[in-house]
Amino acid sequence: MATPPMVPAGWYADPAGRHEYRYWDGTYWTAGVADAGITATDPLEAPPPPRQQATAFTPTPQPAAGFTPAQPAAADTPTPQPTAGFSPTPQPAAWFTPAQPAAADTPAPQPAAGFAATQPAGFAAVQPAEAAAVPPLLAGLGPMAPPGAPPTPHRRRRSRAVPAGIALLVVVGLITGLVIWAPWKSPPLLRPTGLTAGALTTDSVAFHWSNPATGPLPDKYLIVYNGEVIGSVPGTVTAYQTTGLAPDTPYQYRVVAERGGKRSALSSVLTLHTAIPPVSAARWQGSWTVAAKITRGSSTIHGPKHFTETWLASPQCATGPCSVRLSVAINGHSFKVTMARAGAVYRGTTTKDVFPCGSGANSFPVRSGLTIRVKLTTAQVENEAWTASAWRGTVQVSSPYTASGNFYCPAAHQTIVLTGGS
* Per-residue pLDDT tens digits for 24-65: 898 888 999 999 878 899 988 755 555 544 443 434 444 434
Q: What is the pLDDT of residue 302?
A: 78
Q: Is the pTM value of this prediction over 0.75?
A: no
Length of the chain as a residue count = 422
pLDDT band at 153 (very low <50, low <70, confident <90, very high): very low
Q: Which residues contact 11 (CB under 8 A, 6 or more apart)?
A: 21, 22, 23, 24, 34, 82, 83, 127, 132, 135, 137, 138
Task: Average the pLDDT over each of 182-196, 295-309, 329-343 and give the range with the smallest value.
Answer: 182-196
CA separation for the pair 372, 161 (Å, rounded):
108
Helix (H) or strand (E) segment spanning residue 336: strand 333-342
Provide the residue type at 206 as one letter.
A
When pLDDT is averaged across residues 117-134 and rounded to a whole number, the result is: 39
Whether 366 contacts 359, CB under 8 Å: no
- Classified as helix, coil or strand, 101 is coil
What confidence score (pLDDT) does residue 7 get?
82
Please check the confidence at residue 142 and state whether its pLDDT lies above 60: no
pLDDT in tens, 157-214: 444 444 555 556 555 555 555 444 444 456 778 899 999 999 999 999 999 999 888 8
